[in-house]
Structure 1
Amino acid sequence: MFRDGARKSIWQEEIRRFSSYDQIVNNKTFDVIIVGGGITGLSTALELQKQGQKCLLIEASNIGFGTTGGTTAHLNTFFDTTFDEAISDFGEENAKLLAEVGKEAIQIIQNNISEHNIDCDFEKKTGYIFALDKKQNKKLEKMIEGAEKVGIEMKFCDGVSFPVPFVSVASVPDQAQFHPIKYIKKLAETFVSLGGIILEECTCLNHSEEDNEISVETSKGLFNTKNLVYATHIPPGVNVLHLMAAPYRSYAIAFEIGDNKYSEDLMYDLYDPYRYYRTQIVDGKKLLIAGGEDHKTGHEQDTGTCFSNLENYVREYFDVGAAAYSWSSQYYESVDGMPYIGKLPGSKGNIYAATGFRGNGMIFGTISSKVISDLIMGNNSKYEKLFDPGRIKPMAGFASFVKENVSSAADFVKDKLFKEKINSLAELNDGEAKVVKYEGESYAIYKETEGKTHILKSTCPHTYCDVHWNSAEKSWDCPCHGSRFAVTGRLLTAPSTEGLQRIRFNENGEEENI
C-alpha cells in the first residue's frame, strides 16, 4: 500500500498492497457517499451499509493512505484534551459525556473484531503517564482529579519501570492497541461483501447541494446522493472548518529491541509536545515505537531534525538497536480542543464532516461512525451537541480571507532561458529543494539525485498560500490548511482538490504547455 509520505510506516511492511478497489458502478445514485478511506470513512461506511443504506466510498489514493496508515494506533479512554480541561471549558456533565467516548469506541472496535473475525493484533493494555519534573507532576495531579470526577480510573502508582527519570507516574487501566491497517482492511472487505462500493484513485473535486439531492463531482464522474460524509480531516475545497482547525505533524520511529526489554504497556510523558511509546511485533521481532516532536504543518524548516531529535532522545535513555522504520503523519486540532463531528456548517443538513481529533484519531474516527450514522438514520446521538461543528462561529469576512478574487491561473514567463535562470537562483544539490522568487512569481524547485529538476508554482491552489518544503517526507506542505503535494506537484493531502501547477521543459530547454 502507499501512504502520504516518502518514508515507510511500520504498518506498510506487513500489508504491502491491498486488493485494488475499482468496482463497476452501474447506478450513479446512492443513499450515502463517503469521501475518505481511513478508519473514519470505512467505519462509517460499514455501519451505514449494515443498516440498509446504499453506500459508495471514494478514496483519492488507496485505502489507509492518510493518517490511518501513519498512526501509532494507541486506543485510549483519556485524550489530549484532559478531563480537567474539559470540565473547565465545557462543564462537568459534558466532560462526563466525553469520558464515555473512549470506552464506547474501544467497544465498537472489539465488536467489529468479534463479529467479522478480524486478526489485527488487538491487545488490552494499561497506560502509564509519567511526570518528568515538578511542573508536569502538578499537571498530572489535575489530570487525575479531573478523571476521578468523570469516572475514569487514573491514579498514582509505584513500582513502574521506565528508563527516563521521572517524578511520578499514574496508571490508567483498560487501554488498548491494534494494527490499524489489518483492521480497516477487513472493514473494507466486509463493506464490499455487504454490497458497498469502493472506488480508489477517485478524487472528490466538488459538490453541489440541491433541496433533496447532492451532486458529487469526482475524477471518475458525477454521482448523486442523499447524504455526503467527508471523512478526510478537512473537507476539500474551501469551508469554514478551515478557520476552525489547524494541521499538525507528528513523528514516529520503530526501534529494534530484545525480548522483554521494556514494558509492553502504553507509555506517555507530559513533555510539550508529549512523547508516547508502545511495542509491536513485526516478522517475529519486537519493536519499540516512539512518537513525538509534533509541530504545525509547514512551520518547521528542517523536518529531518524532528526525527533526529526524537531518535537522540530515545537513544539517550533506552537501550535500542537499529531504527527499522521512521515516518510522520498529520492530524488536526480544533480551536477549543474538542473534535468536530456532525453536520457541516453552511450545508443544508445532509453533509457531514469529522475532524479536529488531535492525537486521538483511532478513537474519534471510530466514534464518528456512530455519531454520523445515528444522524443520517434519523436517530438521536448523545454526542451531537458536544461535537457539533457549528458550535463555533467563523469570523466575519471569511470570503475575503480565502482570497476568492485571486486567480489560480499562473502567468508563466516564456523565454527559453527561464529554466537556467531558475536553476541558477536555486543552486540546488541533488536531493535538495527550495522556493525561489523570479520576476514577481514564486516557484518550488526540487532536484532529484540523478539531476532531474521539478519546477512547480509554489502557490497552493486551495487558498493561495505558499508551500514549504518537508525534507523528511520529500513533500511540499501548505502551512495554512495542511494540503500536501509530491515533488511532481501531485496532490497528496486535501483540502486542495488540485495539485501544484507544473512547469515542464522539452529537450531543448523550452517550456511546454501542460
Structure 2
Amino acid sequence: MATIHNSDSTAGTSPRDGALPSVWQQLSGARPQATIADATDQLWDVIVVGAGITGLTTALRLQEAGLDCVVAEAHQVGFGTTGGTTAHINTMLDTPYHTIESDFGEDGARLVAAATRVGIDTVARNVATYQLDCDFEYKDGVLFAETEQEAELLDKIFSAAQRAGVDVAPTASLSIPLHFHKAIVFHRQAQMHPLKYVYGLADRFVMRGGILLENTHVEDTAYDDGYHRVQTSNGLLRARRLVYATHVPPGLNILHLRCAPYRSYVLAVRIENGNYPDDLVYDMKDPYHYFRTHTIDGVPYLIVGGADHKTGHGDAHAAFRELEAYVRKHFKVSSVEYRWSAQYFEPTDGLPYIGKLPGGDEDTYVATGFSGNGIVLGSFSGMLLTDVILGAENPYEKLFSPSRIKPIAGFASFLKENADVAYRFVADRVHINQLNELAELPSGTGTVVNYEKQQIAVYKSYEGEVIALSPVCTHAGCIVAWNDAEKSWDCPCHGGRYDVRGNVLSGPPRKGLQPISLVHD
C-alpha cells in the first residue's frame, strides 16, 4: 500500500512550488530566520533575486568579500528546485564529456570537469567552514549499461571523462539489483540534505550582515543613474548590481530561447529487505533513472528519479505510475512514502550560462541552464559570479559566458511583439452556467475550457469553489496546461508555473494569470 504525503495547494502557503512535498520537507523548527528590517532605505552593492542554492552561495561569497548584499526571495528559502532536488553532487554531468569535447574541444571538456570539482569542493568547504549539519557524505557514482549498444556508448563516455581529468574507472559491482553489461565508477562524488544545507547558508549570510527578504516578489526593474531600481511587493530596492538566481531570468530574454524547461519525477520508498544502495547510481535509459539512499531521523529511503519530460507537455500521473512500476519491478518496495517532481532547464549547447546577462541592463548577472546538475553547478556559479562581479580573472568565465550565444535575427522584434501579448485576453467576466464542462470537473482538478471562442483556465477546489483565470502565460503569451499532480498551471513554452489562483510559483513570469470573475445567473 502506497503512503503518499500530500498537501493541499489551495492552502495559504506551500512549502515548495507544488502540491507534493519532497522528502526533505519533514524538517521541523529548522527554517532560517529572514531579516526583519527595512531594506529600502539604502543603496546596496548587490541584489540577489532567489534564495536557492545558487542565490545563497553567491550572496554569502559576495558578503564575505566585503559587499553589502540583499537577497530577495518571492517565497521562502529553498521553495523552488533546491527543495525538490535529489541532491546528487557529481562530476558526471547530464551532457557527457565526449559531447562536450566535440562541441567545445578537449580544453573545454577539461575546464568543465574542473568546474564540477570546484562545485563539489565549494559544498564541502562550506560544510566544514560553517559546520553545517546537512548529512554531507562523499560517495561513489556508478553509471551502468544494460545492453551492448549502451556499453558502446559507455566506452565513449569513459574515455572522454578520463581525457578530461575525471577520476573514473571500470567497476564490476553494482549496488542495486539490476542486471548490467558494463559499468564505470566516478570517485569522490557526494550527497547531502539540500534544505538543511541552504538553511545553513542562509543563516550564515544573515550572521555576516546580509539581508534576507522572504515573500518579496520582484515586480519590475529599471536601470538609471548607475544603479538598479527593483520594485518588489515590499517596496523599492536599489543596488549597483543585480543577480538573477531564479533559473531563467524574468522578462523576455534570448536565454528563454536557449533553455528548455523539463520536469523530473521522484519517489522516496521503503524497501522490505533493507537492501539500500550505498552509491549514487545511474542507468543509461532516455530519460535515465537515478538512485540513491538517504536516512532521515533514523529512517532509510531509497530515492529514485526519472520519467522526465518537457514542462507542460506530459502527463504527471502517468510519469509517476511509470516510475513506480519500474521501481517495484527491481526492488521489494514495502511503501512509497513520498513522490514529487522538480523543474530544471536544459541548455541548447549542453553547458550552463553563467555571467553577465546578454541584452540586459548594465551590471546584471545570471546563472541558468544547469540541466539535472543544479547542486554542483549552482555551487560553482557562486564562485564564478563572485569573480565576475569583483572583476577578478577567472579561467572559466569565457567558456560559461551567456554571451557565447550568437545573436538571433529578428529577436528585437520578437521582444517587441510579445511584450504585451499576455494581456490581449478580452473576457473579464464569465457566466458560470455557460461553462458546461464544470459539471463533470472533479474536485481538486483544473482544465482549460472554451467560452465564446476563447479559452479559460478553471480549477474546482475540494470545497467546490471554482476559480477562473486567463490561460495566457504572462511571460510570452503561450497557453498554460494543468498539472494535476502538483496542482499547478504550467507553461509549455518557457516553464512559467502558477498556483491554482494564478500566483507565480516559478519561472520567468513577473505577473500572475489574469483573474476572471464568474457571474452566477
**TM-score normalized by the length of structure 2:** 0.94
Cα distance, 1:405–1:457 mapped onto 2, change above 3 Å? closer
1:337 alignment partner, one of 350, 366, 369: 350
Q: Which residue does the alignment assign to 2:4?
A: none
Q: Is the 8 A contact 2:469 2:514 kept in 1?
A: yes
Distance 1:208 1:11 in 2: 37
The alignment partner of 1:126 has SS state of strand
The alignment partner of 2:77 has SS state of coil
Give the paired residue count: 505
Q: Which residue does the alignment assign to 1:92?
A: 106
1:135-176 CA distances to partner (integer Å, 9 max, x unpaired)?
A: 211111000010111111222221334312221111111011
Q: Which amino acid aligns with 2:485?
A: A
Q: Which residue does the alignment assign to 1:304?
A: 317
Q: Is the 8 A contact 1:275 1:293 kept in 2?
A: yes
1:74 alignment partner, one of 55, 69, 88: 88
Alignment of 1:311-460 (within 5 A): 311-402=324-415, 403-404=418-419, 406=421, 408=423, 410-412=425-427, 414=429, 418-424=431-437, 427-460=440-473
Q: Is the 8 A contact 2:219 2:510 kept in 1?
A: yes
Aligned-residue offset at 1:259? 7.1
Cα distance, 1:146–1:211 mapped onto 2, change above 3 Å? farther
Q: Which residue does the alignment assign to 1:180?
A: 194
Aligned-residue offset at 1:414? 4.7
Distance 2:393 2:274 in 1: 47
Aligned-residue offset at 1:72? 0.1
Is structure 2 residue 497 aligned with structure 1 residue 484? yes
Q: Which amino acid aligns with 1:346?
A: G
Q: Which amino acid aligns with 2:170?
A: F
2:170 alignment partner, one of 145, 148, 156: 156
Aligned-residue offset at 1:19? 4.2
1:499 alignment partner, one of 484, 499, 512: 512
1:169 alignment partner, one of 177, 183, 189: 183
Distance 1:44 1:15 in 2: 26
Aligned-residue offset at 1:71? 0.1
The alignment partner of 1:91 has SS state of helix
Q: Which residue does the alignment assign to 2:18?
A: 5
Aligned-residue offset at 1:217? 1.4
Cα distance, 1:193–1:201 mapped onto 2, change above 3 Å? same
Q: Which residue does the alignment assign to 1:261?
A: 275
Q: Which residue does the alignment assign to 1:465?
A: 478
1:292 alignment partner, one of 306, 309, 327: 306
Give the stretch that moved more between structures: 64-73 or 258-267: 258-267
Is structure 2 residue 241 aligned with structure 1 residue 227? yes
Aligned-residue offset at 1:504? 3.4
Give the stretch that moved more between structures: 210-219 or 378-387: 210-219
Aligned-residue offset at 1:252? 0.4
**TM-score normalized by the length of structure 1:** 0.95
Aligned-residue offset at 1:451? 2.0
Q: Which amino acid aligns with 2:411?
A: F
Q: Which amino acid aligns with 2:372?
A: G
Distance 1:308 1:25 in 2: 48
Aligned-residue offset at 1:412? 1.8
Distance 1:441 1:426 in 2: 19
1:115 alignment partner, one of 120, 123, 129: 129
Give the stretch that moved more between structures: 392-401 or 95-104: 392-401
Q: Is the 8 A contact 2:471 2:513 kept in 1?
A: yes
Cα distance, 1:283–1:485 mapped onto 2, change above 3 Å? same
Aligned-residue offset at 1:96? 0.4
Aligned-residue offset at 1:449? 2.5
Cα distance, 1:185–1:473 mapped onto 2, change above 3 Å? same
Q: Which amino acid aligns with 1:71?
A: T
1:248 alignment partner, one of 231, 240, 262: 262
Aligned-residue offset at 1:122? 0.4
Q: Is the 8 A contact 1:70 1:327 kept in 2?
A: yes
Distance 1:338 1:22 in 2: 35
The alignment partner of 1:370 has SS state of helix
Aligned-residue offset at 1:198? 0.7
Q: Which residue does the alignment assign to 2:7?
A: none
Aligned-residue offset at 1:471? 1.1
Aligned-residue offset at 1:17? 6.3
The alignment partner of 2:342 has SS state of strand
Q: Is the 8 A contact 1:37 1:57 kept in 2?
A: yes
Q: Which amino acid aligns with 1:28?
A: Q
Q: Which residue does the alignment assign to 2:9?
A: none
Aligned-residue offset at 1:366? 0.3
Q: Is the 8 A contact 1:132 1:271 kept in 2?
A: no
Q: Is the 8 A contact 2:312 2:481 kept in 1?
A: yes
Q: Which amino acid aligns with 1:12?
A: Q
Q: Which residue does the alignment assign to 2:6?
A: none
Aligned-residue offset at 1:447? 1.4
Q: Which amino acid aligns with 2:468?
A: I
Q: Which residue does the alignment assign to 1:279?
A: 293
Q: Which amino acid aligns with 1:251?
A: Y
Cα distance, 1:413–1:364 mapped onto 2, change above 3 Å? closer
User: Percent identical across equivalent pairs?
Assistant: 46
Cα distance, 1:318–1:340 mapped onto 2, change above 3 Å? same
Aligned-residue offset at 1:409? 5.2
Cα distance, 1:453–1:385 mapped onto 2, change above 3 Å? same
1:29-78 CA distances to partner (integer Å, 9 max, x unpaired)?
A: 10000000000000000000001000000000000000000000001011
1:133 alignment partner, one of 135, 147, 154: 147
Aligned-residue offset at 1:406? 2.8
Q: Which residue does the alignment assign to 2:216?
A: 202
What is the CA RMSD across the aligned residues, in angstroms? 1.7
Distance 1:259 1:424 in 2: 48
Q: Give the gaps of 5 or more residues in structure 1.
A: none
1:283-339 CA distances to partner (integer Å, 9 max, x unpaired)?
A: 211110000011110011x21110110000010011121111100000001110000
Q: Give the gaps of 5 or more residues in structure 2.
A: 1-13
Distance 2:196 2:23 in 1: 12
1:364-418 CA distances to partner (integer Å, 9 max, x unpaired)?
A: 1001110100011110121111100011124222244352353615422657xx1
Q: Is the 8 A contact 2:429 2:516 kept in 1?
A: no
1:41 alignment partner, one of 55, 59, 64: 55
Aligned-residue offset at 1:425? 6.3
2:75 alignment partner, one of 39, 53, 61: 61
